[in-house]
Amino acid sequence: MLKLFEHETLDVGNLADQDTAIDVQALNLWFGQKQVLHDISMRIPKNRITSLIGQSGCGKSTLISAFNRLNDLYSGCRSQGSIIIDGRDINHAKENVSRLRTQVGMVFQRPNPFPMSIYDNVSYGLRLQGIRVRRQLDDAVEQSLRDAALWEEVKDRLFEPAHILSGGQQQRLVIARALALKPDILLLDEPTSALDPLTTLFIEELMAELKKRCTIVIVTHNMQQAARVSDYTAFLHQGQLIEYTDSDTLFTMPDKKQTEDYITGRYG
């Protein structure tokens, strides 16, 4: 009976083009002389939650940052291979990075609200796009805060500074800020590692809700979380994609010895 409400499980090793949100093809990435990602190819399915797990320094944060070209900020970073999003190779030199980043939102490990009012935080991205109409901004702010399940808590103090919110509220505010741009893909880089368990649960529920409208890629250190919320899981080790399949399979009967060692806690 429960199965009816769940998605059919897709074979990510053999994903059709129309079901693919991000198509990574033979991606190699270096920071200076050090190669961080080795020949990664994977297809991330649309409207699903895909988690990336692995040891610290295995390259999962670098991989997720490659999806919105945030690695560009670090000098000495160069990459090879393509990442196809929405039919375009975003690694192409002529890619409009600003536009890409409005389509691919990102939430970081530590909540990083700007030192402005709650309203200004949420409308930041829209104002950057030149939207100045008050009505339009008001509607977008309300909708985004509702989507991030924060509206009820902050609707009376929209113009107070964002730093008065608690850590969990700040993280949801940051999610609302990303959602205001109506992204197709939402990248979450360890979004709950700085939060307490209850707030973590709150954010996980939010993710389950959000996947109806966008594709979610999440980096996490917490294996239970990956098993709980994600539909698909990829295990990275030393910059290589070891195993990538649906979460049930990966956590119950992993194919590779390394994966089994990691999820059973033998290292990492």
Partner 1 sequence: MTSVNRLLSSSQRQSFVISATAFLASLLLIALLSILLLILVRGGAYFWPTPVYELTFYDQLQNKQKTVYAQQRQRTDSSGEKVWQVDYSDENSPYGAKTLVEAPDVIAKKLAPESAQINLTDGRAVLAEPVYLTSAESADIPVSEYASVQEKVHALTAKIEDIRETWLSDIHQKLAELDVRNVDADAPARLNLNASFDRWQSEIILLEQRRDAFQMKVVFASGASWQLPLSDIDSFYFVSSQSLWEKWAMALSSIGTFLTESPKQANTSGGVFPALFGTVLMVFLMTIIVTPFGVLAAVYLSEYAPDNGFTAAIRVSVSNMAGVPSIVYGVFGLGFFVYTLGGSLDDLFFADHLPSPTMGTPGVFWAALTMAILTLPVVIVATEEGLRRVPDGLKAGSYALGATKAETVLYTILPIASPGIMTGVILAIARAAGEVAPLMLVGAVKFAPNLPIDGEFPYLHLDRQFMHLGVLIYDGAFHSQTDAKGSSMMFAACLLLLVVVFVLNILAVILRTRLRKRYLL
What is the nearest approach in angstroms of partner 1 to the Cβ of residue 106? 4
Closest CB to partner 1 among 101 and 237?
Answer: 101
- And the tokens for 128? 């950057």
Nearest of 79, 74, 15 to residue 50 by alpha carbon: 15
Closest CB to partner 1 among 7 and 99?
Answer: 99
What is the nearest approach in angstroms of partner 1 to the Cβ of residue 190? 13
Burial class (CB in 10 A: 0-12, 13-18, 19+), 26: exposed
Residue at 200: amino acid letter:
T
What is the nearest approach in angstroms of partner 1 to the Cβ of residue 32? 13
What is the nearest approach in angstroms of partner 1 to the Cβ of residue 252? 35
Strand order in the sheet with 185-189: 104-107, 185-189, 215-219, 49-54, 232-237, 240-246
Angle at alpha carbon of residue 222, lines to 216 and 226, rounded to 5°: 40
Report how far residue 232's alpha carbon sits from residue 226's, in angstroms, rounded to the nearest whole number: 9
Closest CB to partner 1 among 14 and 75?
Answer: 75
Closest CB to partner 1 among 81 and 161?
Answer: 161
Report how far residue 184's alpha carbon sits from residue 105's, in angstroms, rounded to the nearest whole number: 8
Q: Which CA distances in Å does 25 have to 120, 159, 173, 267?
A: 38, 45, 33, 29
Closest CB to partner 1 among 173 and 242?
Answer: 173
What is the nearest approach in angstroms of partner 1 to the Cβ of residue 114? 6
**In the beta sheet, which residues pair with residue 243?**
235
Closest CB to partner 1 among 129 and 264?
Answer: 129
What is the nearest approach in angstroms of partner 1 to the Cβ of residue 14? 32
Q: Which residues are near partner 1 by CB under 8 A?
A: 68, 70, 73, 75, 98-102, 105-106, 108, 110, 112, 114-116, 124-125, 128-129, 161, 163, 174, 177-178, 181
Closest CB to partner 1 among 48 and 177?
Answer: 177
Report how far residue 128's alpha carbon sits from residue 223's, in angstroms, rounded to the nearest whole number: 37
- And the tokens for 172? 């949801």
3-class SS of residue 77: strand
Report how far residue 156's alpha carbon sits from residue 170's, in angstroms, rounded to the nearest whole number: 16
* Phi, psi dihedrals of residue 60, rounded to the nearest 5°: -70, -35
What is the nearest approach in angstroms of partner 1 to the Cβ of residue 128? 5
What is the nearest approach in angstroms of partner 1 to the Cβ of residue 242? 28
Closest CB to partner 1 among 102 and 259?
Answer: 102
